[in-house]
Structure 1
Amino acid sequence: MTADLGPERSQLPWPTTAEAVAASVACARALGLPVEEPEVIAEGFSVRVHLRPSPVVSRVVTTGQQLRGKPRPWLEREVAVGQFLARSDVAIVAPWEEPGPHRVDGTDVTLWSWVEDTGGLVSAAEFGVMLGELHTALASYAPDLPTLVGPLTDIAAAVSRVDDPLLHRAADVLVPLAMDWPRRPLHGDAHTGNVLMTRDGPRWSDFEDVCAGPVEWDLASLTLTDEAVDAYPGHIDRTRLEECRDLRRLQVLSYLLVEDAHEPQLLESLTSALRWRL
């Protein structure tokens, strides 16, 4: 179910945090949810708001639109796969009963069940086991998914805007390679930070990048160790895993260049690794 709750907003390319909170509150109240003390619990590419006292969290994409444009298709895929996994009894942060995306003053809002974060990170070994279980559940997901939509979209956006020779050379090598990889449903942005620790155990979250691709992509986060890879119960092509890691490096480099972020050590690490690939 979706709701069109207001006119289009046109004066800004993406909502500010204050606008994200206002849209979230308006959306919740229009759907009959009481909201007295909205609390921003996360900011970054998107803003998440706990709509207290309701046990619901909103999500509004903000600066993430800089590379990816309008977020609605991404949010629709995220909600759809979240509903599928919740029905399949996978441990996830589940969509709320009327998750959207809802439209409020030109802003897309999705709604999710509130789950208390008890802090900490899942261990690398447990992450690998959980990822295998997630892939088993996703194997029966029927709707078509775009191929590696997160990295390929981010890289294409950077290539169109930034005249960086290494970026362009790496894209010329890695993007065609990625298009020839095997494809199956994936989380798309799997790393320990997207596993929420709760009183009932770890739960998957943040399926915005859900896509089709090789299992190795979900093990290619630069934050994951070999312990996570070794704990994964399925077969891993180690050559493809290294290729996926380079595609992930190129994705991160794309963000840094478009944002003009001052991260000299990270930039040097990424460029050194990609030069070796080329």
Structure 2
Amino acid sequence: MTETAVQAAATAARNLGLTVTDPSVLYEAFSTVVHLLPSPVVARVPMNLPGALQEPEPAVRRQQRELDVVVWMAEQGLPVVPPSPLVPLAPAEQDGLSMTFWTYVEVDQAAEPDYVGATARVPELHAQLVKYPGELPWMTPLRLIGPGLAAAEAVPGLLEQEDVDRARAEWKVLEPILTSRAGFEAVFPSATVQPLHGDAPSWNLITTVDGPLWADFEDVTIGPLEWDLAGFGPDLCQAYDEGARSRGLPTLDPQIQQVMDLARALQVLVCTPLVPQFPALADGIRMFAAQWRDMPFAGGC
């Protein structure tokens, strides 16, 4: 997959007029991130997910939504990794893969990860995102849970059959609550619902030599504040609340956070079929599964 993604990114970039002689992989997980040397451009190429884990909407639509949001944020002067100005502001397709192109930023290699500090800044990000004037869909990251659980199979030592049975039963309770804004607000009428980063923003604040920049808005969505803290644990949620209070912004609702934590766990569990392709996923799945087994059924709903 890596070599295919690198070659596709290099070919697409050359077709757009960029010089690419030595493409280098910067990061690989659910996407392959390629520095298109010597051009100051990075391509992000999402992997093609198998079967039930495939997105229900075309990748280009999701990617264009991300580009639109980040362009707007950059225009507001917000600290984001911007799309590359050297190519059109649209996804490119090559060899069956769809990708986006971003400005290369130099990471500060001497900086130590500070997830508490990053989480304390997420309220600031939310305060800006709430102003976004474009349309966004409801909770797009959760759309793969139902199909993923329907196709899930037990993997001894990782996901047992009793786990699969419980997860399906929980989703039966949670699906009408989490898959529509109306269903969610009927249960949680006081929730703060707004545009969100959508994918653990504290882990997507890049410390560059020019300062911290928010990145990876591919799951940008409408949802409750608590989704951006899903799976973070009580210490980081406290850091968020302290940051929010200092800015006079809404804090997290513990009951909603409990449900969002469960939804994140289910989102991780349905990635089990990807372990043969990405063995490193196994440790994360085990960690989330262990935490999930101690959670109240269906988040107490």
TM-score bucket of the superposed structures, by smaller chain: 0.7 to 0.9
**Structure 2 matches for 1:29-48, cutoff 5 A?**
29-48=14-33
Per-residue CA shift, 1:26-84, capped at 9, x if unaligned?
A: 11111221111110001110101001111100011115566233522221111111111
Query: Which amino acid in 1 is paired with 2:175?
Result: V
Matching residue within 63, 70, 73 for 1:75: 63
Aligned-partner Cα distance in 1 for 2:112–2:265: 22
Size of the alignment, in residue pairs?
Answer: 262
- Are 2:42 and 1:57 equivalent residues in the alignment? yes
Matching residue within 239, 253, 257 for 2:255: 239
Percentage of identical aligned residues = 32
Q: How far does residue 96 in structure 1 lie from its aligned partner after superposition?
A: 0.9
Match of 1:156 in 2: 146
Query: Which amino acid in 1 is paired with 2:33?
Result: R
Match of 1:222 in 2: 232
Aligned-partner Cα distance in 1 for 2:271–2:106: 30
User: Unmatched 5+ residue regions in structure 1?
Assistant: 1-15
**Structure 2 matches for 1:90-105, cutoff 5 A?**
90-97=78-85, 98-105=88-95
- Are 2:154 and 1:139 equivalent residues in the alignment? no
SS of corresponding position for 1:216: helix
Match of 2:188 in 1: none
Query: Which amino acid in 2 is paired with 1:193?
Result: W
Q: How far does residue 269 in structure 1 lie from its aligned partner after superposition?
A: 2.6
| Distance change (3 Å), C-alpha of 1:104 and 1:63 | closer
RMSD: 2.4
Q: How far does residue 153 in structure 1 lie from its aligned partner after superposition?
A: 1.5
- Are 2:100 and 1:89 equivalent residues in the alignment? no
Aligned-partner Cα distance in 2 for 1:29–1:275: 52
TM-score when normalising by structure 1: 0.85
Aligned-partner Cα distance in 1 for 2:212–2:113: 7
| Distance change (3 Å), C-alpha of 1:109 and 1:47 | same
User: Unmatched 5+ residue regions in structure 2?
Assistant: 154-163, 186-190
